[in-house]
């Protein structure tokens, strides 16, 4: 999809409070009221944006399940809207939409003909909240919005919701640059995407640099150049910063790049081929070689795109493979007739749900905060397909269709995407099964009451005590959970530089103090009985408390850890194990330190040993990376950054005038005021910052 923009999209605020309440119609809200949800909504759901979930007028003390639902039914309107079902502690169990709130909730109140999943959900319901909308379309969009943010246990959940990268050709500079872009499109320019991964964008930009010689430097670097940079020397930039190419010539290159990304690739290649032939006939072989290299770069871009449809200009293709209690949804992105990558998703869903139900719920959440193409192709039909297409069309203010193709190239595309979904499903199922066996082996090796659902591994990294960082990585039944990783910048001034034990004490103190504050001091919750809920772990997701804590260290580290756990009163609730490197720090000879047992080793080829090594290595990688990032930040820190009131513009002006920060520090007030944007007051501020005696 290509989109020109010059301003930030307007953001509508949905003031949907998460505390208890019921609303049966629209209410006026104060603009200063806090908003629980902040997301773009289409024009025709703007009236929903100001609604609140007010305090419930229905008292239901002691009621639960179908009885509490029946108490609400009598007061519900026969209007479209969204409802939330909550348990006794206020956790949202389910979010649903209805054409008629009264009829939909009445079905729950009858208490018969439900699946096991719905029966469990009804039994746990202790309260409900409602909001009415003008149309069912608005209700559908609001439902998807709430599900993504509240993550109810009994809904289908996307889980992986990373934003997609785009290619941006800027439009607010005389010499447009090409960048990778994520997030809000606040900068003026042309956006091309989405691409499935940052790697795909990086490869494409590298090839486009060779093909169109567009700059990739920041505007500040562009303005400060006095001679061409290395990219010009290796023929990856045309050098507009120093006038190596005039504005008109550079503008043509920008236009060709936009044409290529907009789908007019054949016209661009034909033009370059003609220019190459003309240069060759004029015996200008150097210029002909430039055109040859540009053509080769464009061919490289297209050769890495795999499937390239002939009749589908712009579409997203979804296919779902549902087997073995797990669903895999594969998404392919086609823009301007080119394949811009694919991504596999594994949504959390009850195994009893049909493939179409999962796919429909997934697509609604998928496009909650993303632009939609003109065409969406799906492998399975679902109940609200036409309604969802209508809702997405309203949000984008142009027609979007959702179809289940039966023949032709579109069907072939869906079949190819389905084949990828099956393969990804098989790989993930095998990895999950292998992970489950390893967790079971871990439980048996260390005498844990059950296979751990959440493992936290800690490590520290520093150089002679400087830039000390503690790292925590998390693993579970599905492998590493990277959105749960945390880093701890060591802040204590009482710790002697290089004191690993003191660093570990601070990390554990901060981690578990916060855990107690946010989730209470009860410790890990035992898994639900399998007979009552066979997919309990999948439904509850990653628990907040770790079942197992691994520390990269020996007796000293473990003593520091246990002292903190005892101080917090949770030593008997947390299983902490030290993993010390073997003699000569040789992998395979690690020693394990468990409370109340002598330290021991595992056989060299034990799968559990390999598993622990992999966990420890990941913690080490993460801690080292965090330390290096902090150290790099300190190395490139500019003394001018420490002065209040000196922003990027003034800093740039000072550096352009004096050359270096050191020269600025030596300048007098009279010299400083000669710099553009530096008043006498600011000059005194800068001077006093570098001259202790004047403070």
Residues 6+ away with beta carbon under 8 Å from 257: 169, 178, 208, 211, 212, 214
The pLDDT-based confidence of 307 (bands split at 50, 70, 90) is low
49 confidence band (pLDDT: 50, 70, 90): very low
Convert the pLDDT of each residue in 360-378 to its tens digit: 999 998 888 788 888 999 9
pLDDT tens across 23-36, in order? 333 333 333 333 33
The model's pLDDT over 589-621, given as tens digits with 9 standing for 90+, comes to: 788 999 888 888 888 888 888 899 989 999 999
Query: How far is the CA of 637 from the CAs of 448, 633, 647, in angstroms?
Result: 47, 6, 14
Tell me the range of 271-285, 362-376, 645-659 where mean pLDDT is highest.
362-376
Task: Give the separation between CA 211 and CA 205, rounded to whole angstroms.
Answer: 10
Q: pTM value?
A: 0.65
The distance of Cα 510 from the centroid of its chain, to the nearest Å, equals: 25
- Amino acid 298: pLDDT: 63
Least confident of 212-221, 419-428, 531-540: 531-540
Domains and CATH numbers, the chain: 2-150 (3.40.1440.10), 166-303 (no CATH), 315-427 (3.30.420.10), 454-633 (3.30.420.340), 639-694 (1.10.150.20)
Q: What is the predicted pLDDT for the residue at 265? A: 60
194: nearest Cα among 302, 398, 340: 340
Tokens representing 134? 């003008």
Q: Which residues contact 539 (CB under 8 A, 6 or more apart)?
A: 153, 154, 348, 350, 533
Long-range contacts of 331-335 (CB under 8 A, 24+ apart): 331/196, 331/366, 331/417, 332/307, 332/413, 332/416, 332/417, 332/420, 333/193, 333/194, 333/195, 333/196, 334/309, 334/373, 334/413, 335/1, 335/2, 335/192, 335/193, 335/263, 335/373
**pLDDT-derived band at 39, boundaries 50, 70, 90:** very low
469-511 pLDDT, tens digit per residue, is: 889 999 998 888 888 999 998 877 777 776 788 888 999 999 9
pLDDT for res 329:
93
User: How many angstroms separate the most distant Cα atoms in the chain?
Assistant: 92
- Cα 154 from Cα 412, distance rounded (Å): 34
């Amino acid at each position: 999809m290509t989109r020109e923009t010059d301003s930030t999209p307007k953001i509508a605020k949905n003031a949907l409070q998460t505390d208890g309440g019921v609303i049966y119609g629209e209410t006026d809200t104060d603009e200063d009221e806090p908003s629980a949800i902040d997301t773009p909504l289409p024009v025709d759901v703007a009236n929903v944006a100001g609604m609140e979930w007010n305090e419930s007028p229905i008292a239901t003390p002691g009621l639960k399940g179908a009885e509490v639902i029946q108490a609400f039914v009598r007061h519900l309107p026969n209007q479209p809207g969204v409802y939330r079902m909550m348990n006794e502690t206020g956790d949202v169990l389910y979010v649903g939409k209805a054409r008629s709130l009264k009829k939909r909730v009445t079905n729950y109140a009858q208490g018969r003909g439900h699946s096991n999943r719905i029966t469990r959900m009804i039994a746990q319901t202790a309260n409900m909240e409602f909001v009415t909308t003008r149309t069912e379309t608005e209700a559908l969009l609001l439902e998807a919005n709430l599900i993504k943010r509240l993550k109810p246990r009994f809904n289908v959940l996307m889980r992986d919701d990373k934003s997609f990268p785009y290619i941006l050709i800027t439009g607010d500079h005389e010499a447009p640059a090409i960048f990778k872009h994520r997030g809000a499109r606040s900068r003026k320019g042309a956006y091309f995407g989405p691409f499935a991964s940052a790697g795909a964008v990086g490869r494409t930009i590298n090839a486009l640099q060779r093909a169109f010689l567009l700059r990739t430097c920041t505007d500040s670097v562009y303005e400060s150049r006095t001679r061409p940079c290395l990219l010009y020397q290796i023929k990856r930039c045309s050098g507009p910063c120093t006038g190596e190419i005039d504005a008109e010539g550079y503008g043509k290159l920008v236009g060709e790049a936009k044409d290529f990304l907009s789908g007019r690739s054949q016209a661009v290649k034909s033009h370059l081929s003609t220019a190459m032939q003309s240069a060759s006939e004029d015996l200008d072989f150097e210029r002909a070689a430039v055109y040859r290299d540009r053509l080769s770069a464009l061919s490289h871009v297209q050769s890495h795109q795999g499937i390239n449809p002939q009749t589908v200009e712009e579409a997203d293709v979804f296919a779902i493979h549902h087997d073995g209690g797990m669903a895999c949804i594969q998404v392919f992105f086609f823009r301007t007739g080119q394949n811009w990558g694919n991504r596999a998703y594994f949504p959390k869903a009850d195994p009893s749900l049909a493939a179409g139900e999962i796919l429909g719920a997934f697509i609604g959440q998928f496009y909650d905060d993303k632009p939609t193409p003109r065409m969406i192709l799906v492998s399975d039909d679902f109940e609200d397909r036409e309604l969802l297409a209508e809702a997405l069309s309203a949000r984008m203010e142009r027609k979007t269709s959702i179809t289940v193709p039966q023949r032709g190239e579109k069907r072939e595309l869906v079949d190819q995407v389905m084949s990828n979904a099956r393969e990804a499903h098989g790989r993930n199922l095998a990895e999950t099964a292998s992970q489950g066996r390893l967790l079971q082996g871990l439980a048996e090796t260390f005498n844990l009451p059950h296979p751990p659902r959440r493992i936290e591994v800690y490590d520290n990294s520093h150089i002679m005590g400087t830039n000390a960082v503690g790292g925590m990585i998390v693993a579970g039944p599905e492998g590493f959970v990277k959105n749960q990783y945390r880093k701890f910048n060591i802040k204590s001034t009482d710790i002697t530089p290089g004191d690993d034990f003191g660093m570990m004490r601070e990390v554990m103190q901060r981690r578990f103090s916060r855990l107690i504050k946010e989730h209470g001091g009860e410790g890990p919750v035992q898994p639900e009985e399998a007979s009552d809920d066979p997919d309990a772990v999948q439904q509850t997701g990653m628990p907040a408390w770790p079942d197992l804590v691994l520390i990269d260290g020996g007796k000293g580290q473990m003593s520091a850890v246990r002292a903190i756990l005892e101080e917090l009163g949770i030593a008997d609730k947390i299983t902490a194990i030290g993993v010390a490197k073997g003699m000569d720090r040789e992998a395979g000879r690690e020693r394990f330190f468990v409370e109340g047992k002598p330290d021991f080793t595992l056989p060299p080829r034990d799968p559990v040993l390999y598993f622990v090594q992999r966990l420890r290595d990941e913690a080490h990688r993460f801690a080292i990376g965090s330390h290096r990032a902090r150290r790099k930040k300190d190395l490139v820190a500019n003394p001018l950054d420490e002065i209040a009131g000196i922003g990027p513009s003034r800093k740039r002006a000072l550096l352009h005038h004096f050359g270096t920060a050191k020269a600025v520090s030596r300048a007098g007030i009279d010299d400083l005021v000669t710099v553009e944007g530096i008043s006498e007051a600011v000059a005194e501020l800068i001077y006093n910052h570098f001259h202790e005696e004047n403070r």
